Chains A and B, each alone.
Chain A
Amino acid sequence: MNIIRLHRAPHSLRPHAFTPSRSLLFSRQISATRCTRVGRNTGKDASQSSNVVKSEDGQEVVEGSPNGPSKSTVEAKRRPLTQQTASGQRDRSAVGVFTPTAALLFIATGVGLYFYFQHEKAKILEAKRKEMLANKKIGRANVGGPFELTTHTGQPFTEKNLLGRWSLIYFGFTNCPDICPDELDKMGKVVDELDKLYGPISQPIFISVDPSRDPPPKIAHYLRDFHPRLVGLSGTYPQTQAICKAYRVYFSTPKDAVPEGDYLVDHSIYFYLMDPDGRFVEAFGKSSGVGDVVEKAVEEIGRWVEEKGGATKTSVGQVAVEAEKTT
């Protein structure tokens, strides 16, 4: 900044002094006779002349002072740049479309747009995610689906009967030596705990993976040892196969098994928690204790109440009412 003004000043004062040599000469003369601040501006003619200019104007204008530029400096600024000075080149670089300001604006706009689109994209993704969550299509295992079985009292039971209650579903068989009874006992305790907290909002269900040996009457007999609300379901071999496939349960009942056979059925030994919409919430293995299951269930029920306004309210209220009637 300093240098720019220093060079322009002499020309503004002496309009005829166009050649650099004359200007230089002039400034030298002045510097010799009238400059009062030579000492400070040693070595540079141009800078010396600057001081002269200021003194001639009679204003004590210093660079950046609140008085603003002197008349001469303003004039100098308006003059077309005809000289090949350092300042001229710099100014000329600012002419045209690609000024530094424009470049900055361009970059700023680009960056701004980038972030704007990122933000918009995130918003759209978030909305999609929420929609998916609402449909329970994401964030949960694809466990469950339509099925047709018979209760231990001989009533038909389908996936619609799961609606409006928190279902605890265990797959097993009545001739199960140790794990099934343990798990069913555990499930019963969980139901009791949930009953204490919320009332009878849960429905324990036992599904037999041994269709040939577990007809409804036998299951009814078996269930007497367990929770009074426990519902025992069974079906034909294909029906059993279908529900086990839908619920990702492995079982190894021999297809030609006879009712009087003494055999065990190898099967998956976890039980499921399903929400009042009949959708999968969680699977619990042998290592999960009653406390673990209750804790998880309470967490999920709390979330459900917050979302739906009731522990047993389904997403489709109408269906729940129908289900209530059939059970």
Chain B
Amino acid sequence: MFGFFSKPPPEPTPPDRNERAKCWESRDAYFSCLDAAGVLVPGQEDGRCSAQRKSYDLNCAKSWIAHFNKGRVFAERQKQMQAQLNTPQPFNSQGKRAGKS
């Protein structure tokens, strides 16, 4: 089935637990494909994960896809920032972080 969004408007029912799980599954498959291809931003993979992308588009609402895609980039950026914060940089003689003079 195509899920809730395949039904005609005006009364689309929100996805139930199964549909949500299906959407999340296809999202995870697509994202791990992007990871393998070394692509961070969805859509920049040049058709390399087309099968996963198709399933993703099919099982998730457009608004959800936009949300997940944004979330992926955001999470990655957050991870990088966290890593930067966690690696302590030595102070130089002026009490400033090295490399930021």
Contacts and interface: CB of A to CB of B under 8 A. Distances in A.
A175 interface: yes
Interface string B33-49: 00000000000000000
B10 A175 contact: no
A42 to B, nearest CB: 73
A174 B62 CA distance: 15
Contact of A259 (B11, B15, B16, B67): B11
A259 B10 contact: yes
A115 interface: no
A174 B14 contact: yes
Contacts of A175: 14-15, 61, 63
Interface string B44-77: 0000000000000000111110111000000000
B62 A218 contact: no
A71 B29 CA distance: 115
B17 A181 contact: yes
Interface string B1-34: 0000100011111111100100110000000000
A317 B17 CA distance: 40
A218 B12 CA distance: 9
Contacts of B11: 218, 259-260
B34 to A, nearest CB: 18
A259 B10 CA distance: 6
Contacts of B10: 258-260
Contacts of A222: 14, 16
Interface string A224-265: 110000000000000000000000000000000011101110
Interface residues of A, number: 17
Given A225-B17, A262-B5, A177 B64 contact: yes
Contacts of A262: 5, 12, 61-63
Contacts of B60: 177
A225 B16 contact: yes
B1 to A, nearest CB: 16
Interface of chain A: mostly helix, strand, loop or mixed: loop
A221 interface: yes
Contacts of B67: 177, 264
Contact of B14 (A218, A258, A260, A263): A218
**Max chain B Cβ within 10 angstroms of own Cβ: one of A177, A218, A221, A259:** A177
Contacts of B5: 262
A306 interface: no
Contacts of B23: 177
A262 B63 CA distance: 6
Given A262-B61, A262-B63, A178 B24 contact: yes
Nearest to A224: B16
Contact of A181 (B20, B62, B63, B66): B20
Contacts of A224: 16
B77 to A, nearest CB: 18
Contacts of A264: 63-64, 66-67
Which 3 residue pairs of A and B lie closest in terms of their CB atoms, listed nearest first? A260-B9, A174-B14, A260-B10
29 contacts: A174-B14, A175-B15, A175-B61, A175-B63, A176-B14, A177-B20, A177-B23, A177-B63, A177-B64, A178-B24, A178-B68, A181-B20, A218-B14, A221-B13, A221-B16, A222-B14, A222-B16, A224-B16, A225-B16, A225-B17, A258-B10, A259-B10, A260-B9, A260-B10, A260-B11, A262-B5, A262-B61, A262-B63, A264-B63
